[in-house]
């Protein structure tokens, strides 16, 4: 029994890896993003790094055409780095002549065991019960979730984590203890608002506990 448990743990935990900084620059656009090193499977490492880069550059993709009128500076933070790599990109974008700059946020979550990018619906069972739980338990700015109709909130969650879509304004990321969900909100509220809920609170909705 102990031998089987140890084997399962070895399978579930990828070899140690690093997440090192890289930078993309184009005109007045600067985007920092991570690149993974140290994986034994080099092809998987290449695929993961391509995903991280492509997702980060979607921040520039929100603005078309990209020319000298755009100023964009973005950075990243690794929120979790084990069998699940969870990265948050945040930036400030401004187009000359616009009424105000935009505070941008998107995320990338990668299952490091197989190199696949994960969306919120891949990890959490999303239904009316989860929506009610989120409204009751999530910690974040007061009123925003409560004022959102349940059907709209569920739709936003189901469509989360698609950085290549301009219509996507809901993103998730993961820490050691909590799921964090970012919703796009009005500019006067900061352009995005984050809400955290513990894994303990959402245990019944997690599809595969080994992912967390």
The pLDDT of residue 66: 87
**Predicted confidence (pLDDT) per residue in 182-209, tens digit:** 999 999 889 999 999 999 999 999 999 8
**Predicted confidence (pLDDT) per residue in 63-93, tens digit:** 888 899 999 999 999 999 999 999 999 999 9
Q: What is the pTM of this model?
A: 0.90
The pLDDT of residue 14: 64
3-state SS assignment for residue 15: coil
| Same domain flag for 109 and 29 | yes
| Same domain flag for 106 and 144 | no
| Same domain flag for 49 and 109 | yes
The pLDDT of residue 171: 98
| Same domain flag for 149 and 187 | yes
- Domain containing 150: what range? 119-212
Query: What's the gap between Cα 87 and its chain centre?
Result: 6
| Same domain flag for 124 and 114 | no
**Predicted confidence (pLDDT) per residue in 33-53, tens digit:** 999 999 999 999 999 999 999
For the chain, what is the domain count?
Answer: 2
| pLDDT grade for 13, boundaries at 50, 70 and 90 | low
**Predicted confidence (pLDDT) per residue in 115-137, tens digit:** 999 999 999 999 999 999 999 99
Average pLDDT, the chain: 92
What does residue 197 show for φ and ψ, rounded to 5 degrees? Answer: -140, 135
Q: How many CB atoms lie within 10 A of CB 168?
A: 17
- The answer to whether the peptide bond before residue 24 is cis (omega within 30 degrees of 0) is no
| Same domain flag for 159 and 171 | yes
Percent pLDDT > 70 in the chain is 93
Q: Which of 83, 118, 153 is the last residue of a domain?
A: 118
Which residues have a Cβ under 8 Å from the Cβ of 58 and sit 6 or more positions away? Answer: 106, 163, 164
| pLDDT grade for 11, boundaries at 50, 70 and 90 | very low
């Amino acid at each position: 029994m102990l031998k089987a448990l140890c084997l399962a743990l070895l399978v579930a935990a990828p070899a140690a890896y690093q997440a090192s900084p890289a930078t993309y620059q184009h005109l007045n656009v600067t985007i920092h993003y991570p690149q993974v090193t140290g994986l034994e499977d080099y092809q998987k490492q290449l695929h993961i790094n391509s995903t991280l880069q492509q997702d980060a550059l979607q921040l520039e993709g929100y603005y078309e055409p990209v020319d000298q009128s755009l100023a964009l500076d973005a950075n990243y933070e690794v929120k979790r780095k084990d069998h699940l790599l969870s990265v948050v990109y945040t930036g400030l974008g401004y187009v000359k002549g616009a009424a105000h700059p935009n505070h941008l946020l998107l995320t990338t979550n990668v299952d490091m065991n197989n190199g696949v990018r994960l969306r919120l619906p891949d990890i959490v069972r999303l239904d009316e019960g989860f929506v009610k739980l989120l409204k009751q338990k999530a910690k974040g700015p007061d009123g925003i979730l409560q004022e959102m109709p349940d059907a709209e909130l569920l739709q936003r969650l189901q469509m989360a984590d698609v950085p290549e879509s301009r219509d996507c304004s809901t993103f998730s990321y993961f820490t050691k203890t909590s799921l964090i969900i970012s919703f796009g909100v009005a500019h006067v509220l900061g352009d995005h608002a984050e809400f955290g809920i513990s894994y303990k609170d959402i245990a019944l909705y997690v599809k595969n506990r080994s992912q967390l």
